[in-house]
Amino acid sequence: MISRFDHVIVGVRDLEAASERYRALGFEVNPGGRHTGLGTANAIIRFGVDYIELLTIADPEEAERAGGSSKVLLDLLQDRPGALAGYALATADIEEDAERLKQGGLAAVGPFAMERLRPDGRLLSWRLLVPEGVSWRRPWPFLIQWDQSDEQRLSWEQPGSHPNGATTVLGVSVVVASLEDAVELYRDKLGLEPSVEGDRATIAVGGFQITLLPASADAAAAQTLSEIGEGPVAAVIGVQDLARTESVLTEAGVAWQREEDGAIRVDPDQAVGARLVFREVASS
So what's the pLDDT on residue 284? 54
% pLDDT > 70, the chain: 99
Helix, strand or coil, per DSSP, at residue 70: helix
Question: For residue 5, which of 266, 238, 200, 198 has the smallest C-alpha distance?
Answer: 238
User: Is the pLDDT score of 26 beyond 70?
Assistant: yes
So what's the pLDDT on residue 138? 95
Shared domain for 79 and 202, answered yes or no, is no
Shared domain for 56 and 126, answered yes or no, is yes
Full residue range of the structural domain in which residue 263 is found: 166-280
Spatial contact of 135 and 157, defined as CB atoms under 8 Å apart: no
Sign of CA dihedral 106, 112, 117, 122: positive
Q: What total of structural domains would you count in the chain? A: 2
Sign of CA dihedral 60, 66, 71, 73: negative
Instruction: Give residue 81's pLDDT band: very low, low, confident or very high (50, 70, 90).
Output: very high
Domain CATH code at residue 252:
3.10.180.10
Average pLDDT estimate for 125-136: 94
Please report whether residue 161 resides in a domain: no
Shared domain for 64 and 138, answered yes or no, is yes
Question: Where a domain ends, among 156, 175, 200?
Answer: 156
DSSP conformation letters of 179-190: HHHHHHIIIIIS
- The total number of residues written for the chain in this structure: 284
Spatial contact of 240 and 167, defined as CB atoms under 8 Å apart: yes
Q: Specify burial of residue 171 (Cβ count, 10 A radius: 0-12, 13-18, 19+).
A: buried
Shared domain for 132 and 189, answered yes or no, is no
So what's the pLDDT on residue 170? 98
146 vs 115: CA distance, rounded Å: 10
pLDDT for 218-240, tens place per residue? Answer: 898 999 999 999 999 999 999 99
Shared domain for 103 and 181, answered yes or no, is no
pLDDT for 158-167, tens place per residue? Answer: 999 999 999 9
Instruction: Give residue 283's pLDDT band: very low, low, confident or very high (50, 70, 90).
Output: low
pLDDT for 169-210, tens place per residue? Answer: 999 999 999 999 999 999 999 999 999 999 999 999 999 999
Shared domain for 187 and 271, answered yes or no, is yes
Shared domain for 145 and 170, answered yes or no, is no
User: Is the pLDDT score of 131 beyond 80?
Assistant: yes
Average pLDDT estimate for 92-118: 93
Shared domain for 141 and 52, answered yes or no, is yes
CA triplet 153, 156, 161: central angle to 5 degrees?
Answer: 100
So what's the pLDDT on residue 68? 85
